[in-house]
């Protein structure tokens, strides 16, 4: 009996140990399956996230490429505008130079005409001054002649006044002198 009891004890111990091992293995398997399932779920999520990230990267690269293309086009537009502006400024400068030149030439012509007119006015004024001086000289000469004649006449007049013919001659001479003046 004691061997039976010992064998029974050994069997029960084996059974209990086997059940404990089975329970421990079952717990381990359950935990392992849970971790593996969780890991697989996370791996799927990671794979989905990577795919989304890859799509986002491709989208971002396309967006950056579009931005680069748009930026290049804007730079080309700016370059064209700059060249057009420079060309316009050059043409405007040339036009202004031509306008200033035309105005300057017109001003020169007007100055030449004005200078000629001033010279002609000065010449006319000088001619008038000369004529005036000549007239004054002629008048002064005539007055000198008149006064000389008057002196001479007054010398002659006294003896002629006594005679009527002498008075008429003196009056005629005075009339001729006045007409000459």
pLDDT tens digits, 67-122: 999 999 999 999 999 999 999 999 999 999 999 999 999 999 999 999 999 999 99
Task: Assess if residue 181 is contained within a domain.
Answer: no
* pLDDT digit string, tens, across residues 16-26: 888 999 999 99
Coil/strand/helix, residue 163: coil
CA-based end-to-end distance of the chain: 199
Domain count, the chain: 1
* pLDDT digit string, tens, across residues 3-14: 778 888 888 888
Average pLDDT, the chain: 84
Residue 11: its pLDDT value, please? 85
Task: Assess if residue 131 is contained within a domain.
Answer: yes
Can you give the residue range of the structural domain that contains 70? 1-176
Residue 176: its pLDDT value, please? 56
Tell which residue, 173, 175, 151, 171, has the closest CA to residue 161. 171
Decide if pLDDT at 179 tops 80: no
Decide if pLDDT at 159 tops 60: no
């Amino acid at each position: 009996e004691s061997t039976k009891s010992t064998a029974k004890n050994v069997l029960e111990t084996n059974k209990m140990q086997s059940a404990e091992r089975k329970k421990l293995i079952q717990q381990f398997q359950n935990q392992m399956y849970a971790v593996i399932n969780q890991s697989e779920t996370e791996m799927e999520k990671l794979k989905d996230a990577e795919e989304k990230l890859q799509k986002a990267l491709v989208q971002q690269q396309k967006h950056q490429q579009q931005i680069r293309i748009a930026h290049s086009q804007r730079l080309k537009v700016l370059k064209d505008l700059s060249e057009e502006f420079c060309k316009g400024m050059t043409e405007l400068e040339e036009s202004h130079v031509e306008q200033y030149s035309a105005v300057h030439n017109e001003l020169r012509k007007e100055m030449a005409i004005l200078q000629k007119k001033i010279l002609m006015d000065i010449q006319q004024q000088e001619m008038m001054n000369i004529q005036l001086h000549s007239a004054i000289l002629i008048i002064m000469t005539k007055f000198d002649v008149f006064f000389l004649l008057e002196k001479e006449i007054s010398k002659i007049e006294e003896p002629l006044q006594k005679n009527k013919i002498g008075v008429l001659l003196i009056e005629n001479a005075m009339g001729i002198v006045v007409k000459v003046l």
